[in-house]
Amino acid sequence: MEVQITNENFETLKNGELPLVVDFWATWCGPCRMIAPIIEELANEYDGKIVVGKCDVEENDDIVSEFGIRNIPTVLFFKGGQVVDKTVGAVTKAKFVEKFNALL
């Protein structure tokens, strides 16, 4: 299940026990809509192992600024509160699966 990432809950999720994957997106972004079903599917497949969240770049300036998000979709992979990997642009499900598995 995906969670909505906000300026208010981000630090708690980032520093939680489970790894965190954050999809930075916007409603007007075509490539974001292309990867959305993949991210949602992986959120369900990895439920209980990885927290998967979506962060609307237009509503969460603090997080966007903190990580210098300039292009979307950008997906950041956190482990132990630190960014350990990222993707920019639309990538395949196989590439996401590879990166999700690397977090475990």
Catalytic-role residue among 32, 39, 52, 63: 32
Active site residue 55: no
Catalytic-role residue among 18, 26, 29, 103: 29
Return d(Cα 36, Cα 67) in angstroms, integer: 21
Active site residue 29: yes
Of 78, 68, 69, nearest to 102 by C-alpha is 78
Neighbour order of strands in the sheet with 74-79 = 2-4, 51-56, 20-25, 74-79, 82-88
Q: Catalytic site residues?
A: 29, 32
